[in-house]
Structure formats: structure tokens, C-alpha cells
Amino acid sequence: MSEAKPLGGRIFTPTVFVCLLFIGVAGFVLVKRFIYGLGPVSNMSDGYPWGIWIAYDVVVGSAFACGGYVMALMVYVLNKGQYHPLVRPALLASAFGYTLAGVSVFFDIGRYAHAYNLYLPWQMNVHSVMFEVAMCIGTYIFVLWLEFTPAFLERWKQKGLNKLLNKVIFLLIALGVLLPTMHQSSLGSMMILAGYKLDPLWQTPLLPLLFLGTALFMGFAMVIFEGTISSRVYNLGDETSMFAKVSRILYWVIAVWMIVRLHNVFVNGHLGDAFSGSFLGNMFLLENLFLVVGMTIIGSSKFRSSARMLFIAAVLILCAGALYRFNVYLIAFKPGAGFSYFPSWGEQMVTYALIATEIAAYTFFVKYFPVFEVHEPVESNS
Amino acid sequence: MQKIKRRDFLKGAAGSVALLSVGVQSQSAEASTAAERGSEHVGILYDSTLCVGCNACMSACKEANDMPPDPTGGSITLDNADDLSENTLNVIKMFVDGNGETKDSAVDGYAFIKRQCLHCVDPGCASACPVSALYKDEHTGIVKYNKNACIGCRYCQVACPYLIPKFEWNDWYPQIVKCQLCDHLIEKGGVSACCSACPTGAALFGKVDDLLKESARRLTMEPGVEYAFPVSSIDAGTVQTHKASEYVPHVYGEHELGGTQVMYMSGVPFDKFGLPDVPKHSYAAIANGIQGTLYKSMVLPAIVFSGLAYFINKHKKMEEAEHDTTNSNEDGGKS
């Protein structure tokens, strides 16, 4: 059912050792966190109850992990079969991204042993956006690994099981499209409750729509970003023309998103704030500058055929989405009363370690399990 | 092979954008129907002009709720809290301007404010809490905390517009800490400890309806003329005579974000105390409106799921059929 093959090769590369070093340091920070509490290792406070463990690990990180979502949407819902080779690598990156976001939540929540309350019907608050996000992300992690299971079954030659799974996998893929649509938009809805604490350039009832949009364009950009790196590192052959096609869809997603965003800021009467020269005004402009430059690159057929330019555009678009989400959760979040926040080195170490874990685990998986299809020029697949 | 044309896809996308914006806007317009005051709801009317800053309410609060002293000011035996914290549910803070000589004057004056949980009619914290650890008592309207449900996610802190819930940052297994209006005393027929300790009636306990009537009466008082002011609890029958001050013609909490059960009257504008100027509709109502539209009985997600499953199944079968014919020579029966 798939032409993907394990890439083989050395597991303990220097990259993996660097990753393990970060993980070790973060381990010390976490031991301290679980013995003495969150205060001694983090700069979070009653004014900034969420730091980068939520803003990066969950909110930005899960958007970086939307490659699996957009590729499933493209290939299976919109029936663009030619992108099939991009699905499995994207799914794997998504599975790690989401799993580690889930793990990070357990470092962050104070009363982790009480998390089972989320599943007690009499404790559930179905009106809570957080409840919806927690349920959706929890289920989606599970779904992602099930979607990836054919790779395990192929590796371990479980043909019977694989056939069985193949019969019902359309239900899993449907869940794999529905759940991110729900929780990625809800990550935006979540900050509506922050009210005046979130700067008016970002606070709007359209937060769910804008968050869903960033999830889409960050997902597409991540597919190009990861794909470009993988095809270089693992000599997978030239996939530029496939990425160029992805980038044309990406172009329109960003165009629609920017129209909605700018229209919304204009209608709410805050476009003036954007050009006031204030720090937050400049942050708003920076988000849009990243997007405009990224769009200009992928809008040009000449740049589109260059792997380097496509990569640069993907990076810019990822920066735009990440900055937008950081702005909503931290930078444009102003609780007042003299509170301020910048992540402590301990918080940063844990976040770096999570990224390192993703990289190390990803490199192991592509070598040991069938993830990539190695091919010469693109489109050679049926 | 069927393909959805990009043009059609974009049309669809643009359509859903429009649909969602309309939905969102109509929802926020009707958000005012969210929550209402109950006739049995209890609260506190804090009158800054009557407060003498004796801090009796603070020590009474610590004793009633078994909270440790807060040594912020340098002493570990004397409570010297300068703000709400994990150890302090109730605090008297002072506003000072210029030479700080005239009480209740915004210029060259000073005034006190009692900070504590305001017990919102439509509380953001309870709306935020995924496990109903923060919840509104149906009878009294008190916003209570259940540590046995709390997972420590701190969304309540993000959601509270008054920065009330505090978190035990230096505890290995922390809790959220906030005023629960001494519900344990109210259950036994008592009143909030801060109100029974208040010597001047600045903090007055009662049913919210009665407190609102009392606040309306005070706003009609002539400054400088003596009036009777109830002390401790509005229906206790004890009164003191004070000269009425000149009030800011606004009761903070009457309408703020759907209203609160702890309300403030003052001689200086409320923003001087750092109280936020907020709209009448609660943020919770806006969020609930959006979530309610999208997830009502999970009908919409169920429809979307069915549609997705149908198309994915169809496209997957088509793809496999195509795959089998093209590859039948090479891989035989493989998948």
C-alpha cells in the first residue's frame, strides 16, 4: 500500500548526541520542578500564568505539527493523490509534535495527578474551551499514532493486521481532519476570555478563525520546510516541483487569511494602532511583513522553482504564524499591575529539550520504519 | 480521476469565512442573555468612603480561613500583605495622590479599596475551568473552588479580569487560592468574616438585591448630611451614623462584565484603584456564544465528520483501484 522504505544508516549521529545533552539538562530542571514547584524553575507568575511551555510547546508547537493535518486534508479530502509521498513524513512529524505538546502539558499543570477529572462526566465543563482543547488534543495524539500504524505494521510484516486497519483507516483519517480543525480554532477561542488583557490588535471574536488559518498555512509551510531538509539530509531526490505545487495552494490560504485579518483590524478601528510606532504595533507589522515577503516569493513562478527560495519562504511563513501565536499568548498579553514575563533558562531548557526529542526521535524513525519514498524526479509515483 | 478545482475550493473557503464571521457577530450581539443575578445571591457592598483602613477585615479573613500571615512587608509574625497572594484572600490597599491629605479626594488625597474575589454573575474563571473546579453555587451565587477536581492548568488566572485567583507557585502540588466569601460561615447562618469584623460598615454583607438598593440610597444622599449606615450585615439591624461623602455616581460591579456580587462605592474614580474599565457583556458570554454555535450538541462536528469520512473513503478506494491497475504487473497482489 505504500512504496515507503526505511532509510537505514547510523542511529547515534552527532546530532542525536547534542539532542541527548539538552534532554539531560532539562531532566535536572524537571526534577527540581516536581520537587519544589513551578515557581523556583520558571518566571511564570499570577499575572503571566502561562509561559513558553504553553505558548511555544502547545500553541506554536501544535501548529508546527499541522503538516499531517493539511496533507490528510489535501490527499484524502480534496483528492490530490500526487502529494501522497508527503503524507507519511508529515504524519510522523505531527505525531511527535503533538505527543510532546501533550507531555509538556503534564510538566506545566500543577495538579497533574488530578487530570483524570477531565474524563469524569460529572466534572466535565463542556462550556470550557480548555476542556474542548484538552479532549481534542488528547484524542488526536492517539489518532495520529493510529494513522501512522501502517508504517509499524509494514516494518514488522503484519500483513493481516494491516489489511484490517486499512478497512477502517478512513474513519481515523476523518477524525484526523476533524479534530485539528476543532482544537486549532479553539486555541484561538481560548484567549477571548482574556478580554482586555489581550491587546485589541489581536483580541477579536474571529480569533478561532484566524487560529485555524495559521494552523493551515503553518502546516503547509512545515511540509515544505521539513521536506526540503529531509530530501537534502537523506538524499531523497528532488521534490521541488511537488513543493512548488503545495506552495501555490499555500499562497491562496495566506491571501485569504491576510484579507480577513486586516479587514477585521480595520473594522474594529485599530489599524491606526498598527502604525503608531508602538512596540505592539510593530509586532503586528512584523507578522504581516513576514507573510507578505513569503507570499511574494511563492507568488513568483521563478522563485517557486528554486528549492532555496521555497525554503526561505517556508521559514518566513512559519515565523509569521509563530509570531502571531506568541503575540496572542504572551507578547500582546498585558495583565497590568506591574507583571512582566521572560522565560527563565530552565523553562527554555525544557522547551529546547522537547524540540531536541522531536528531532532525535524523527531521525530514528525514518531510518528504522518505512516513512520516505525515495524517488528520482517527482511524479514518478503512479 | 476526479479533482476538486482550486477555484471551487477557494469559493468554498471564502464562503465558510463569511459564514463564520456572520455567526460570530450575531452571537456576540445576543451574548447579554448569558447569566442573571439570583434573588438568593449574597455578596458584599464595600463603601470606600466609610473605610478607615484599620485592616481588621484582613486579620479576620486570615483567622476564618486558616491562612498564614503574609510577610511581604518584612515581618513574619505580623501580617503585612500588600496585595492578594496565595496567602491572602482579602487585602485593603490605599490610593494616594499628591500630598495625600484629604480622604476620598482624587487630588492631594487618599482612599482605600478592598480587593478580593468579586464573585461575578457570569464568572470567567468558572467558564474557563475544564473540570468545574471553579463553579458558581446555584443558591448563593458564590464562586467556589474544589481542589479535588482542579488540575492546575491556570486558565482561570488568564480568564479573570480582576487578577483574583492565585496559584501556589512554590508548592510541589499546588492549589488555586481565592476568596469564597466564607461560605463555610454562611452555611451556618453567619456572614463573611471581613464584614463581621468591619467596625464602620464599610464592608457590608447581604443579599445582592438588598445591597443594590442600599447603594442606590447612598447615591441619593446629600454630602455632609448625617445618615444611618448598616453595619456588618444589611439585615442585622445594627446601624451607625456617618456623614455622607460625595460619591462617584457609579457602583462598580453593578454592570461590569455582566455584574458582580461584591460591589464597590467610592469617592474617587475606580480606575485610581487599578480596577479595569470593562464592558457590560462578559467575555465568558462571547466565548460561550462562539463555542455554543459551533458545538451545540456536537451536531456540526458530527455532520463534518460524516462528510469527511464519506469523501475520504471514496477517494481512498479510487486511489487504490487506480494503484492496483497500474501496479498489477509489478507487485501482483501487494495490497
Query: Nearest to residue A222, comparing CAs of A47, A5, A53, A61?
Result: A61
Convert the pLDDT of each residue in A266-298 to its tens digit: 999 999 999 999 999 999 999 999 999 999 999
The whole-number average pLDDT for the span A327-351 is 95
| Number of compact structural domains in chain B | 1
C-alpha cell at B324: 492496483
Q: How confident is the model at residue B208 (pLDDT cuts 50, 70, 90)?
A: very high
pLDDT at B36 over 90: no
Please give the DSSP secondary-structure letter assigned to residue B116. Answer: S
Question: What pLDDT is stored for residue B54 in this prediction?
Answer: 92
Which chain A residues are Cβ-neighbours of B151 within 8 angstroms? 109-112, 114-115, 117-118
Distance CA B93, CA B100 (A): 14
The whole-number average pLDDT for the span B166-180 is 96
Q: How confident is the model at residue A1 (pLDDT cuts 50, 70, 90)?
A: very low
Identify the helix (H) or strand (E) that includes residue A316: helix A307-326
Domain boundaries defined on chain A: 14-368
The whole-number average pLDDT for the span B154-180 is 97
Identify the burial level of B37 via C-beta atoms within 10 angstroms of its C-beta, where 0-12 means exposed, 13-18 middle and 19 or more buried.
middle
Residue B155 and residue A44: Cβ atoms within 8 Å? no
pLDDT at B74 over 80: no
Question: What pLDDT is stored for residue B4 in this prediction?
Answer: 45
Residue B312 and residue A170: Cβ atoms within 8 Å? yes
Mean pLDDT (chain A) is: 92
Distance CA B108, CA B127 (A): 41
Question: What pLDDT is stored for residue A2 in this prediction?
Answer: 59
- pLDDT > 90 fraction of chain A, expressed in percent and rounded: 76
Mean pLDDT (chain B) is: 86
Residue B154 and residue A190: Cβ atoms within 8 Å? no
Question: What pLDDT is stored for residue A205 in this prediction?
Answer: 94
Question: What pLDDT is stored for residue B225 in this prediction?
Answer: 96
Q: What are phi and psi of B275, to 5 degrees?
A: -80, 130
List the beta strands (DSSP E) in chain A. Answer: none
Convert the pLDDT of each residue in A81-116 to its tens digit: 888 888 999 999 999 999 999 999 999 999 999 999
Judged by DSSP in three states, B261 sits in coil
Domain of B71, CATH number, reads 3.30.70.20
In a domain, B244, yes or no: yes
The whole-number average pLDDT for the span A50-58 is 97
pLDDT at A263 over 90: yes
Question: What pLDDT is stored for residue B8 in this prediction?
Answer: 47
C-alpha cell at B290: 462562539
Which chain B residues are Cβ-neighbours of A253 within 8 angstroms? 13
pLDDT at B288 over 50: yes
**Partner B contacted by A119 (CB < 8 A):** no
* Look-up of cell digits 463573611: B192
In a domain, B182, yes or no: yes
Residue B133 and residue A134: Cβ atoms within 8 Å? no
Q: How confident is the model at residue B328 (pLDDT cuts 50, 70, 90)?
A: low
Query: Nearest to residue A347, comparing CAs of A96, A39, A35?
Result: A39
pLDDT at B168 over 60: yes
Distance CA B90, CA B93 (A): 10
- Among left, alpha and beta (phi > 0; psi -120 to 50; other), residue B17 is alpha
In a domain, B230, yes or no: yes
Fold classified for A14-368: Formate dehydrogenase/DMSO reductase fold (1.20.1630)
Shortest distance, CA B169 to any CA of chain A (angstroms): 4
In a domain, B225, yes or no: yes
Residue B172 and residue A166: Cβ atoms within 8 Å? no
In a domain, B12, yes or no: no
In a domain, B305, yes or no: no
Convert the pLDDT of each residue in A110-134 to its tens digit: 999 999 999 999 999 999 999 999 9
pTM: 0.90
Q: How confident is the model at residue B34 (pLDDT cuts 50, 70, 90)?
A: low
Identify the helix (H) or strand (E) that includes residue B214: helix B208-219
Convert the pLDDT of each residue in A155-210 to its tens digit: 888 888 888 888 888 999 999 999 999 999 999 999 999 999 999 999 999 999 99
Question: What pLDDT is stored for residue A97 in this prediction?
Answer: 94
Which chain A residues are Cβ-neighbours of B286 within 8 angstroms? 192, 205
C-alpha cell at B23: 455567526
Convert the pLDDT of each residue in A8-30 to its tens digit: 888 888 889 999 999 999 999 99
Which chain B residues are Cβ-neighbours of A166 within 8 angstroms? 335
Residue B161: domain span: 35-288
The whole-number average pLDDT for the span B161-167 is 97
The whole-number average pLDDT for the span B101-121 is 95
Question: What pLDDT is stored for residue A234 in this prediction?
Answer: 84
Alpha-carbon distances of B113 from B22, B44, B48, B158, B261, rounded to whole Å: 42, 13, 6, 23, 16
Identify the burial level of A122 via C-beta atoms within 10 angstroms of its C-beta, where 0-12 means exposed, 13-18 middle and 19 or more buried.
exposed
pLDDT at A378 over 50: no
